[in-house]
Amino acid sequence: MQALVDNNGITRYLVTIKINGDEYTRVVKANTLMVNFIRDELDLTGTKKGCELGDCGSCTVLMDGKPVNSCVVLAVEADGHEITTIEGLATNENLDKLQESFVDHAAVQCGYCTPGMIMSAKALLTKNPHPTEPEVREAIAGNLCRCTGYVNIVKAILAAANE
C-alpha cells in the first residue's frame, strides 16, 4: 500500500477497493473507518451508522462475501478487497428477492436497520440457500431492530429463501 506523509506529518495511504463491482482509489488515513469511507468518500449512505461499536449491525456490508460491521473495519484493511453495500444488491430496475420480500412482508418500519439486515440475510442465503428459522435468527442476531420484534424480518428472509 502506497503511503505518503502530509504537511502536518500525518501518514496517508492509497487504497483501492472494489465496491459494488467498481474500483475506487482514494487516499485515507490509518484510522479511517470503512463505514466513513463508504458514506463520506463515496456517498453510499445506504450503509447506516447506529453505534460505531459493532453492536447494532446497521453498517453491515459484505467483504469478499462475508458480512462485516463496517464501523469496526478500517479502510486500509479493505485495500484490494471486494465490498458489497446495499446499493449493490438491486440490478438495474430489479430488486434483489430479499429486498422485494422485505417490502412484501412489512419487514420494514423505520428502515434504519434494513440495509444492514438485508446484507446479513444476503450473506446467509448465499452460503445456505434454504436456512431453517433458527439459522435465520442466528444469522441476523448481530443486527438490532427496535421496531419490528424481528417477526416480519424473519418471515421475509424465509420467504425469499423458499421462492
Partner 1 sequence: MAEKYAVIGKSVPKIDGRVKVTGQAKYTGDLKFPNMLVGKILTSPYAHAKILNIDTAEAEKLPGVKAIITHKDVPTLKYGISPARWDESIFCSDKVRFVGDKVAAVAALDEETVYKALKLIKVDYEVLPAVFDPEEAIKEGAPQIHDEYPRNINTEIHQNFGDVEKAFKEAYHVRTDRFEGNRTYQCPIEPHSAISIWEGNKLTVYSSTQSPHYFQYYIAREFGLPMGDVRVIKTFVGGGFGGKLEPTGLEFAGAALSKLTGRPVKMFYDRHEMFAHNRGRHKQIMEITTGVDKNGKLLGVYANFMMDGGAYTSLGIATAYYAGAMLPLTYEFDNFKFDMIRAYTNLPACGAQRGHGAPQPRYAFECHLDNVATDLGMDPIQLRLVNARQPNTVTPNDFAVNSCELTECIEKAKEVSGWAEKKGQMGKGRGIGIGVGSFVSGAGYPIYRTNLPHASAIIKVHEDGTAATLYTMATDIGQGSDTVLCQMAAEAMGFKYENMKIVSADTETTPHDFGAYASRQTLMSGSAVKQAGEEVKKQLLEMAAQMMEVAPGDLDCRDSIVFSLSDPEKTKPFGEVAREFFVRQGPLVGKGSYAPPKLGGTFKGAAVGTSPAYSFAAQISEVEIDEETGEIDVKEVWDIHDCGQVINPSLLHAQVHGALFMGMGESIWEQVLFDDQGRILNPNLGEYRLPTAMDMPKITSELVESYEPAGPWGVKEVGEGATIPTMGCYANAIYDAMGIRVNSLPLSYEKVWRALKEKRESEAK
Residues found near partner 1 in the complex (CB under 8 A): 36, 39, 43-53, 55-56, 58, 85-87, 89-90, 95, 99-100, 102-106, 108-115, 118, 136-138, 140-154
Least gap, CB of 133 to partner 1 (angstroms): 10
103-140 CB burial, b ≥16 within 10 A, e <16: eebebbeeebbbbbbbbbbbbbbeeeeebeeebbeebb
Closest CA to 66 of 77, 53, 76: 77
Least gap, CB of 15 to partner 1 (angstroms): 18
Q: How many CA atoms lie less than 13 Å away from 39 in the CB half-sphere?
A: 16
Least gap, CB of 111 to partner 1 (angstroms): 3
CB closer to partner 1 out of 17 and 36 = 36
CB closer to partner 1 out of 80 and 151 = 151
CB closer to partner 1 out of 80 and 127 = 127
Least gap, CB of 145 to partner 1 (angstroms): 7
Contact assessment for residue 28 and residue 85, using Cβ atoms and an 8 Å cutoff = no
CB closer to partner 1 out of 58 and 70 = 58
Distance CA 97, CA 55 (A): 27
Closest CA to 87 of 27, 24, 26, 155: 24
